[in-house]
Amino acid sequence: MIRWFDTLSSDDVALVGGKNASLGELTTNLADAGVRVPYGFATTADVFWSVLDGANLRSAILDLLQGDAKAPAETAAEIRSLIETAELPGAFVEALTEAYRALGTRYDQENVDVAVRSSATAEDLPEASFAGQQDTFLNVSGIDAVIAAVRKCFASLFTERAIYYRNEKGFDHTDVALSVGIQKMVRADLGSAGVMFTLDTETGFPDITVINAAWGLGEGVVSGEVTPDEYRVYTPFLENKALAPITGYQLSQKDRKCVYAAGGSTEVVPVPADEQRTPVLTDNEILQLARWGASIEAHYGQAMDIEWAKDGQSGDIFVVQARPETVQSQREAATLRSYTLTEPGEVLVRGAAIGDAIATGPVCRLQNPSQRDKFVDGGILVTELTDPDWVPLMKRASAIVTDRGGRTSHAAIVSREMGLPAIVGTENATEVLQNGREVTVSCADGDEGQVLDGTLDYDVDEQDLSTLPEVNTRVMINVASPPVAMKWWRLPVEGVGLARMEYIINNIIEVHPLALTRFDQVQDAKARKTIEQLTAGYDNKPDYFVEMLARGIATIAAAQYPHPVIVRMSDFKTNEYANLIGGQGFEPDEENPMLGWRGAARYYSDDYADGFALECRALRMARQEMGFDNIVAMIPFCRTPDEGRRVLDLMADQGLKQGEHGLKVYAMAEVPSNIVLADRFSELFDGFSIGSNDLTQLTLGVDRDSDRLSYLFDERDEAVTRSIRQLIDTAHDPDQGRAIPVGICGQGPSDHPDFAAFLVEAGIDTISVLPDSVARTIRTIADVEASRRQPA
């Protein structure tokens, strides 16, 4: 009737349910990997059946479930009442009492505080999580309270939500039994807790571990009551203890936490203001958890969903649950679907994006699931947070939006299972979004989801990856947004041909680098206040820029590792730099910024050198401290070889010496002088990437933004193609012993098959395009290569 965790394994699901079998497996087999599990024991399924059979409840329950005279909630309540009032076998009560006392002796506590957790024999399976379907009781102390909690757990197999979920998943009610785990509580109420996934929850990328963390008991994170911090770790580098591959570090406003309540159970209390924006975990704790996650995943042979808790008294971290991840690991990878908004709209609220889809519909704002009659099928469900009682209603929605919660909250988990776009942790959706208002929910742009006003048009693109031919010309992708980079990991490409640093600076960092290195020179009061807010928690303001930029670059590099990721150093024009927070006082007013103080000329100027130094520090951090040696630096708008030398010397001074740690430095070939003096530039740089827009503009003397001259702007013009061929021939000149790679980044090859044919015929090494053009580009290149192989 009672089995201790160290006598159980994952083979015992039928005996003690998925949760308890997994706790046994962890206790028995992961201790050598350092994984700590709070000790405890489980009641067996036989006890559950004996309770039902002792009161002749099996047939009574089936009769109630098959009848249709009562409402589902009423039926469920009646079944639970029958189970809760059924007599427990005397031998079981005796065994339970003895085991509870033995657990107390082990921890030197007479009435040891425990978690009493339901574990169904059909839960935590790879194809169905049964997340939150049965009840758990925390901070239970004393044998009478334990027995009462066990009764409630038995009865919770027949909550309305559990009955609905089993029906939806096709499980026979008479085939599912319930075990109860009794486990020593971790004093996370004095510490912290959270959830860890050993893959990226939104894209299925297998090499990232996602850790959510909040103050207090984990109940607050799982329920969505608290919006947690989120940390991301690149798993393959964890074996190298010299590296700290933390690619994501997002702090939330943790204004509440779940703690012990007087007399047992739990309650939600405010978090002191000075702790709300403080990181829950240290870097070492993040890496420790990620290593445990990797060990657990390796042991189970599949991606895992893991709950953890940190004891505030001892400082020790524990794993309190591990189950298979049930969404991304079950998804077919042959077809890649992407969504793109085709018109702009006013952003009403923002939050964490769940999934990558777009949906439209009327806002249906509800306070609780009992208001289901007010919901319009296909509407956008807007509420504070969800729990398992919301599931039938969620199934009728086209999207979910919540005020609270993170990527591991109930709303997030269930939305993924249902394939619905969701935005969680918005903080104010229930205040801003009015009932009946037509809105568009977009999760198509990476980590941040947006609710936009009105019904906006969008495209859905499907790329069938299973039928793509192999080509000799290497295809890469252009990426700006780090979160979006993860989305494209399944594409059959060989790296990133252009990663634009400006996107990270403009959209994530937001602050002009000199406003951080020369903060005392920022005169604008509003800008100073915003900078203080953004850099809160950093002792040194420039560190904010370096760490945010490094993690953004590392995220892009991780998505394609070990393929090269070519990162262009910042190429803002002066008017764009001036628009950054605090930037007005550091930028000149130029008549023609396109041809002004941009690219290499900025880097060695005294008026920007400390800004470039921050860029170099970020690149060094991503390459050397995190381990992403696939990052290639690229210098834009380098007008002369002398500029190239000066920039390379500056980079070396900042610890980025060409050739050391495998560092390669490319030049953007976009100025005619890069072509004319290609032999000279080849002596300095390790490769070229053709910027066809600027090269076309400067070769033809046509402003690329001019509507009047747009008919003249064509990268297929002979003057441009001759320049491209000349660059390739010079870089590949065998007589001079040159074999320098040349690539191109732009839409031309995918939009114009004749241009792709020219590039392949000219001997281009790589073609880099937007991700949604990859399939089309590969097919175009395949046709060109096939035609070249055919005899004339």
- Angle, alpha carbons 770-234-769 (nearest 5°): 10
**Nearest one of 383, 432, 389 to 162, comparing CA atoms:** 389
| CA dist., res. 16 & res. 27, Å (int) | 15
Q: Answer whether 38's CB lies under 8 Å from 184's CB.
A: yes
| CA dist., res. 673 & res. 505, Å (int) | 29
745 part of the active site: yes
| CA dist., res. 73 & res. 750, Å (int) | 57
| CA dist., res. 274 & res. 692, Å (int) | 51
Peptide bond into 562 cis (omega under 30): yes
443 part of the active site: no
Which one of the listed residues 410, 443, 616, 638 is annotated catalytic?
410
Residue 56: CB atoms within 10 A of its CB come to: 10
Q: Answer whether 45's CB lies under 8 Å from 132's CB.
A: no
Q: Which two tokens stand for residue 762?
A: 């000219």
**How does DSSP assign 744-786, residue by residue?**
EESSHHHH-HHHHHHHHHHT-SEEEE-GGGHHHHHHHHHHHHH
**Amino acid type, 248:** G
Q: Answer whether 126's CB lies under 8 Å from 301's CB.
A: no
**Nearest one of 684, 655, 656, 654 to 668, comparing CA atoms:** 684
User: In Å, what is the CA distance from 302 to each residue of 56, 102, 128, 289, 488?
Assistant: 41, 35, 14, 17, 21
**Nearest one of 372, 421, 296, 257 to 28, comparing CA atoms:** 296
| CA dist., res. 463 & res. 508, Å (int) | 29
Helices in 30-142 by DSSP H: which ranges?
45-54, 57-66, 72-84, 90-106
Going by DSSP bridges, is the β-strand pair 178-184/40-43 parallel, antiparallel, or unpaired?
A: antiparallel
| CA dist., res. 364 & res. 345, Å (int) | 20
**Nearest one of 190, 86, 83, 96 to 139, comparing CA atoms:** 190
Question: Residue 624 gets which letter from DSSP?
Answer: I
Catalytically active residues are 410, 745
